[in-house]
Structure 1
Amino acid sequence: MTMTIPTPLLLGPNQPLDRPYRGGAGIARFRGTPQPSPFTPEDFVGSTTEVFAGGGVGLTVLPDGRTLREAVAADPELFLGEEHVRRFGPRTMLLVKLLDTAERLFVHYHPDDAFAARQLSSPLGKTEAWAVIDAADDAYAALGFRRAVTPEEVRTWWTGQDADEMLAAMNRLPLAAGDTLLVPAGLAHAVGPGVTLVELQQPTDLSLLIERRSLSEAEALLGLDLDTALGGLTLDATPEERIASLRQRRGAETLFPADADPFFSAERIQVTGSRELEPTFSVLVVLDGIGTLEAARGSLSLSRGATVLTSHGDGPITLDGDLDLIRCRPPR
């Protein structure tokens, strides 16, 4: 028997404990909630994805006690729509996170679909994109190499764990609130301290760490040996014009360039008065303002820091008030 769909649903924090880097204060400020610990830099929002170590950590739990993963599997067309299920099967194809850095993230990269399938038994890799919502004055990211590097050079960095040399070989990008950036699989990257962002990504937790700090080699490389792990890293230079294209908004409300379309989509929606949105599986992140969300099943009050899960089965939803929000969606 099909259970009643639980959306639209306001989602509270879902922050895995004891992650390997410090952060989370920016999420607490944004949401107006306590910071669970100094090591809770990620908030998995509307998540059917668990952390790589498993155990269900990271999965969104619905008010009826089911995980969102279980609910979607039980009735995918209700959550995702017939067209989505026809193209992608019963997978949401989307993970949204809030991420906040109290220290620089590890230099790392994410595998693409082919590498993930071949080496990690995963049908999906991890292309991701960021929408910065708060940033320190000197905030930055490092993305891709400024020049071509060799496998031997990366092995030397790995052996000596020379993060300064890694970063010196990378493009450094200043970050400020309102900036967006697409991060294709394969590109080495890191985020400096003092950044709070909304992250869209393929729904996996696959990160290969060139800089491992206190982690073991197996933890840093997901159980792979170094030579195998380097097979998914983009060693070629990522030139300035490519970086510029990854930072480029497409125009109007669309946040990311066309290269993001096979993976996910996001819109910056500003409402003054009333606006109707078409039915879709989505995560809404309210950046500012006060308002309401109206759907056939009821209404929700919205304000800064609110995150909302919607389903295709909700039908059209109406936003009323003065609102500034990001709507995160699967590939369209």
Structure 2
Amino acid sequence: MIPVELPPNLITHFYRGGANIAALRRTSTDNAFQPEEWLAATVGRMGETGTGLSRLATGELLRDLVIADPGRWVGPDHGARPDAGDVGVLVKLLDAGQRLPVHVHPDRAFARSHLDCPYGKTEAWFVLDADAAADGAVYLGWNSDVDRADLDRARDEQDSDWMLARMNRIPVSRGDGILVPAGTAHAIGAGVFVAEAQEPTDFSILLEWSITTATRDESHLGLGFDRVMPAVSLQRMEPDEIAALTLITDLDARSAEPISLLPAPADPFFRLALVAPAGAPVAVDAGFTVALVLAGTGTARGTGAIELAAGGLYAVPHAFGDWTVTGEVSLLLGRPGVGWPRTLGDPGGATVASSR
């Protein structure tokens, strides 16, 4: 069983962007609001039928292929929810043509109790490019403890200045990896292009919607703000916490083994790695993988062989076996977390201590 190549899957969203994605994936955008591509996605947008799901060039849904043969796609554990085509991870390209709104994602405990889902939405950003002239920064957590009543007021009045003034603004550069624990207020600044790994859901609580095409009624997961605001951390994120959530990588490095792109606390949730052979083949363990060719050309060999070229995207099944990569290529790999899917049966199996 060999990897399947996937055509572009750009998503129309409530904020602007998309030019960097179109350039990488060698396609074009349909409008100014296509800032995301969902890569090898078997989960769709919340409340919408089909939006976000990846299709093969034949029109078949990748999710349907996984549902039909979960063992060969995700391995003998058959995933956490084989009937849903669960592969344990969602990877996106996100090209911020404007600053994203301040928002928060719930954790697994909240998702289990309120949304009937074993996944929350811890996520991570790996910066592919950042334009300092546009903003070139991300916003992560509060820089001081905030009062719930004050935050409720700022949300209701859409007081963006109040929220941003209380957040940690972090200038970023190509090669920066940052973990965003569930419950943490965050935003991405204009001019930042990232590969995003996340738990496979579309759960977002918007504290700020006025800079987007979204509405208040679309901002609280259908639960109302009184029920969702307990999912939002009010505590200051300390500098040492931010440091522990950050890893800097030379994206031009060559290596004899895959290079981890995210800090270790991300490992229970998902993994991102760079494969960039230094001459000899680089070995990759068997397992479902989202593989995006960032640059160059090469070959992936497992139970068969495929040729890799810049901009190509592949869903790699577990049944491809242990595989190797050769050539002058830079390949981004997204995979489920360590111990998945067993960690979903353990409420403490995937936590980020710094999310508090």
| Length-normalised TM-score, structure 2 | 0.86
The 3-state SS of whatever aligns with 1:124 is coil
After superposing the two structures, state which structure 1 stretch, 63-72 or 321-330, moved more. Answer: 63-72
Match of 2:172 in 1: 175
Distance 1:80 1:111, change over 3 A: same
Matches within 5 A, 1:1-332: 7-17=2-12, 19-82=13-76, 84-85=77-78, 88-90=80-82, 91-137=86-132, 138-213=135-210, 214-248=213-247, 253-273=259-279, 274-303=281-310, 305-332=311-338
Q: Distance in 2 between matches of 1:64 and 1:22?
A: 29
Q: Distance in 2 between matches of 1:89 and 1:157?
A: 39
Contact in 2 for aligned 1:10/1:300 (Cα 8 Å): no
Q: Distance in 1 between matches of 2:175 and 2:227?
A: 37
Task: Give the 4+ runs in structure 1 shifted more than 4 A.
Answer: 249-252
Q: Partner letter of residue 108 of structure 2?
A: D
Q: Distance in 2 between matches of 1:136 and 1:250?
A: 18
After superposing the two structures, state which structure 1 stretch, 211-220 or 148-157, moved more. Answer: 211-220
Q: Unaligned regions of 5+ residues in structure 1, if any?
A: none
Paired-residue identity, %: 39
Deviation by residue 1:247-295 (Cα, 9 ceiling, x = unmatched): 1369982222221122111212211333332221101122222222234
Q: Partner letter of residue 166 of structure 2?
A: A
The 3-state SS of whatever aligns with 1:262 is coil
Q: Distance in 2 between matches of 1:89 and 1:122?
A: 10
The 3-state SS of whatever aligns with 1:268 is strand
Distance 1:301 1:267, change over 3 A: closer
Contact in 1 for aligned 2:3/2:320 (Cα 8 Å): yes
Q: Distance in 2 between matches of 1:70 and 1:89?
A: 13
Q: Distance in 2 between matches of 1:124 and 1:95?
A: 11
Q: Distance in 1 between matches of 2:34 and 2:305?
A: 32
Give the number of equivalent residue pairs.
Answer: 323
The 3-state SS of whatever aligns with 2:241 is helix
Q: Unaligned regions of 5+ residues in structure 2, if any?
A: 251-257, 339-356
The 3-state SS of whatever aligns with 2:10 is coil
Q: Distance in 2 between matches of 1:80 and 1:286?
A: 21
Q: Distance in 1 between matches of 2:216 and 2:32?
A: 24
